[in-house]
Amino acid sequence: MQASFDPHAIESAIYRAWEAAGHFAPKESGEGYCIVIPPPNVTGSLHMGHAFQHTLMDALIRYQRMRGRAALWQMGTDHAGISTQMLVERQLNAEGKTRHELGRDRFVERVWQWKGESGGKIAQQLRRMGSSLDWSRERFTLDAGFSRAVVEVFVRLHEEGLIYRGQRLVNWDPALGTAISDLEVINTEEQGSLWHFRYPLCGDVRTADGKGHLVVATTRPETLLGDTAVAVHPRDERFRALIGQRARLPLVDRELPIIADDAVDPAFGSGCVKITPAHDFNDYEVGLRHNLAMVNVLTAEAAINDNAPAAYRGLDRFVARQRIVADLDALGLLERVQEHSLMAPRGDRSEAIIEPRLTNQWFVRIAPLAEPAIKAVEEGRVEFVPKHYEKTYFAWMRDIKDWCISRQQWWGHRIPAWYGPDGAIHVGQDEFDARRRAGLAADVPLRQEEDVLETWFSSALWSFATLGWPEPTKPLERFHPTDVLVTGHDIIFFWVARMIMMALKFTGEVPFRQVYVTGLVRDAEGRKMSKTKGNGLDPLDLIDGIGLEELVAKRTGNLTQPHLAPGIEKATRRDYPHGIPSYGTDALRFTCCALASTGRVVRFDPGRTEGYRNFCNKLWNAARFVLMNTQGRDLSAAAEPGLPDRWIRARARQMVDAATEALDTYRFDLYAGAIHEFAWREYCDWYLELAKPLLWDEGAVPARQAAVRRTLLEVLELLLRAAHPVMPFITEAIWREVAPLLDIEGDTIMLRPFPEVDDLSADAEADAAIDWLKGVVVALRNIRGEAGIKPSQTLRVLLQGGDARDRELAALSGPLVQRLAKVESIEWLADGDAVPANALGLVGDLRIMVPLAGLIDLEVERTRLQKAIDRKRTELNRLQTKLANEKFVTNAPPQVVEKERAKAADAETRLLALEIQSASLG
């Protein structure tokens, strides 16, 4: 093995070998375990969020595979309708073309071509992460089988009346020219203006205070072109007399009824509200209630259409806004303008301001689907981890609105509906089926719906359509419901809820038994990682490393806002003065696990990755040490385990227990902690050090040495298996060296069993003995450290006090203590013996003394001692106060009281010893 850990030397070859051997496919027999991957965008690339979630999924899959389950991690990608179409349209624009010039067929062809070119990237990156996905079963939401499932679902929902087409007010994205769903609209607070306009009253009508006009306020003046009423609150005394009268809409010269509606907030603005049913969701409801006309004044591009006066036709909405304000001002109808912060709706993809717009769209009638999905979670058939996300889920599901599923786009599943010459709608699997169902002759011309389904409609079928539905396939039977869905809280509504509804509807089963909701990855300062902010991290850069100049170029290139480049460059040079070193996949994965605690935000700090790269190196070198001391040795000799051997196995048992518990409850941070703690703090820091004296003692009993060698190997091998789910590559590389020495069959660690607690036994005796030893060694190190004694200086140690057990342990562990603390001699003194001036350490009643002579400065030792006395006295006082409290003694459980008494007695003994020592030093 190389002297230091080099991830590049091992990773790719190992992954290729696993894949070639078919190890990622579920085994033929055994209980199934399945996770479906949240499908990445087919033309996308890996970001930190993927790296994070995929690490957790892969850890689960590898863990369950090692536990004997037939584990399937179902691979697939999403066609990502809007974002992919946007990307390709942008490419076209760069060439000076538009999709409309190209036409639908050629455009779609072009997208497929782009998919062919860039669609493999994410798959390669997933391989670099070590993801044990079953590539042989890879699916795509637009592949033939999946599309069939989509059509099937559409047709059946339509048959049952759960899909309908209708004219509704929808969120219209003028930049993309399509409707989008409520969830795709992001409302953010922005600064704007509130314009107050005067609408003259018709006839001789006057307001209560004698004015001839009403005042209405709006943040969107251009919409007044579509006003069809003015509303007031029915109990608003100021306007009661005006209800039923009419006002005149300026510029348009339309008479508007003055109506009363509870929805009006009398305290907002003037108390009068202009009603634009075709361009505002609240007004739309008012319009329905009062049977108002709905005047659409916007085109698909959000310019003013022909329903408006000629003066404004064709103007962009924001140009029209300025013009209208100016015109009203000129007419003396602008009362005032007010600074105003408003919630601006923007499209999550285009970031354009969304316009509510009246259009014909397809909807899913969702309430009948939501009901069983709510029940499934209430009854625990689907369980959220952490549990509190169920509240979020219920809140949304119980107030769910019909789902707009049609998009005026080209890239996606074209809606399987055909229009007859009379405008009648015929739905079917295909045109033939639609004709058959409708009983239409072959010569009746039919025109297919132009719209496609939104991407989430197909994603909603992911759990079962990837497994072969609508065919009753074996994988479907074996792996559905899947075991757990691992995803972020940002897509609980988009995806999780819809999958539950669709799976229940079409398979009668929940799609997964548990949902593990991860936090979302942010940068080290807690900010969202984004290209615009230039604070993004590419997981591949953490794995492979990247030079500073290249990193700067990557972060500042192709910015949508180029003026931000200098700031980004400066921050990058500050944060990564030497670029990013290559840390390897295992270190990145370990970081992801270690950061996966229960919070909602995961602050990703590359410093942690460096630390875990070091951990990989530690493990690598520990393995080198073990191999150096075992290769070519006779390991078959009868073994006689010593206390350290028994101890490390007992510790291993504890580690396996903790690791198993952590993985079973999705506490990946605790799992990583258990592995790290055991490997570094116990196996390396103590066991390897304890092993050295025995290994290097030429006069040692052969059976003892054999036991040490076997223990070194066996515990290392067990540790590798326990750590494999989080760090697959390094564990495989080391395991291949270690396994032959232990005569283990098999060519890969990934198919070996995960360690079981029952493989090991607890050992109270060994624990006590090694605890004692550690106590003595730490006490001596402490004296050394504080007294500034050089590590090369050997010590003479005197022992006094203690009991028979201390003498027994000293006899057993003396040689180990000597080696670990660099002690040349240990001498027992009787209780009454005079002792030279010394530095004192305590383990229970046992006094560990290092004579000062020539080594330790008396003053330094006095200071150290005084500190120890102060600390111990504080502790004792606290305990004595507690024990003096009668209420405590009578009310607390006896074992608690007993424990406190023992602690007090111990503190007292120690304090006494320290005080005697203090007196003796003068």
Which of 722, 754, 748 is closest to 735 using CA atoms? 748
Cβ proximity to RNA: between 670 and 855 the closer is 670
Contacts by residues 901-908 (CB-CB < 8 Å, ≥ 24 positions apart): 903/879, 904/876, 904/879, 904/880, 906/844, 907/872, 907/875, 907/876, 907/879, 908/876
Tell the smallest beta-carbon distance from residue 407 to RNA (Å).
19
The alpha carbon of 408 is separated from its chain's Cα centroid by a whole number of angstroms, namely: 32
Contact 767, 746 (CB under 8 A): no
Cβ proximity to RNA: between 4 and 124 the closer is 4
Tell the smallest beta-carbon distance from residue 26 to RNA (Å).
32
> What's the CA angle centered on 834, arms 829 and 837, to 5 degrees?
100
Q: What is the Cα–Cα distance from 624 to 797, expressed in whole angstroms?
A: 34
Beta strands at 383-385 and 512-518: parallel, antiparallel or unpaired: parallel
Cβ proximity to RNA: between 302 and 602 the closer is 602
Cβ proximity to RNA: between 628 and 811 the closer is 628
Tell the smallest beta-carbon distance from residue 652 to RNA (Å).
16
Record the tokens describing residue 414, joined without a space: 């074209």
Cβ proximity to RNA: between 152 and 182 the closer is 182
Tell the smallest beta-carbon distance from residue 839 to RNA (Å).
13
Partners of residue 799 on adjacent β-strands: 828, 848
Contact 264, 271 (CB under 8 A): yes
Cβ proximity to RNA: between 242 and 720 the closer is 720
Q: What is the Cα–Cα distance from 594 to 672, expressed in whole angstroms?
A: 5
Neighbour count for residue 164 (Cβ, 10 Å): 15
Tell the smallest beta-carbon distance from residue 151 to RNA (Å).
29
Neighbour count for residue 825 (Cβ, 10 Å): 11
Cβ proximity to RNA: between 314 and 785 the closer is 785
> What's the CA angle centered on 903, arms 898 and 906, to 5 degrees?
125
Which of 541, 452, 464, 477 is closest to 178 using CA atoms? 452
Which of 677, 901, 153 is closest to 464 using CA atoms? 153
Neighbour count for residue 762 (Cβ, 10 Å): 13
Contact 495, 534 (CB under 8 A): no
Record the tokens describing residue 883, joined without a space: 């024990």
- Strand-by-strand arrangement of the 185-200 sheet: 213-218, 185-200, 334-347
Tell the smallest beta-carbon distance from residue 348 to RNA (Å).
10
Tell the smallest beta-carbon distance from residue 377 to RNA (Å).
15
Cβ proximity to RNA: between 97 and 903 the closer is 903
- Strand-by-strand arrangement of the 447-448 sheet: 425-427, 417-419, 447-448
Record the tokens describing residue 315, joined without a space: 């103007």
Cβ proximity to RNA: between 322 and 863 the closer is 863
Contact 343, 335 (CB under 8 A): no
Tell the smallest beta-carbon distance from residue 525 to RNA (Å).
8
Cβ proximity to RNA: between 256 and 715 the closer is 715
Look at residue 166 and give its three-state secondary structure. Answer: strand
Tell the smallest beta-carbon distance from residue 879 to RNA (Å).
8
Tell the smallest beta-carbon distance from residue 781 to RNA (Å).
4
Tell the smallest beta-carbon distance from residue 273 to RNA (Å).
16
Look at residue 835 and give its three-state secondary structure. Answer: coil
Cβ proximity to RNA: between 574 and 790 the closer is 790
Distances (CA, A) of 661 to 658, 672, 728: 5, 12, 20
Cβ proximity to RNA: between 382 and 907 the closer is 907
Tell the smallest beta-carbon distance from residue 521 to RNA (Å).
11
User: What are the DSSP calls for 199-246, one per residue?
Assistant: EEBSTT---TTS-SEEEEEES-GGGGGG--EEEE-TT-TTTGGGTT-E
The alpha carbon of 30 is separated from its chain's Cα centroid by a whole number of angstroms, namely: 30
Tell the smallest beta-carbon distance from residue 487 to RNA (Å).
14
Record the tokens describing residue 371, joined without a space: 């009901």
Cβ proximity to RNA: between 489 and 555 the closer is 489
Which of 629, 473, 431, 574 is closest to 139 using CA atoms? 473
Cβ proximity to RNA: between 88 and 868 the closer is 868
Tell the smallest beta-carbon distance from residue 625 to RNA (Å).
3
> What's the CA angle centered on 768, arms 764 and 771, to 5 degrees?
135
Q: What is the Cα–Cα distance from 435 to 450, expressed in whole angstroms?
A: 18
Tell the smallest beta-carbon distance from residue 5 to RNA (Å).
5
Look at residue 472 and give its three-state secondary structure. Answer: coil
Q: What is the Cα–Cα distance from 515 to 500, expressed in whole angstroms?
A: 11
Tell the smallest beta-carbon distance from residue 339 to RNA (Å).
18
Contact 334, 328 (CB under 8 A): yes
Tell the smallest beta-carbon distance from residue 418 to RNA (Å).
33
Q: What is the Cα–Cα distance from 142 to 76, expressed in whole angstroms?
A: 11
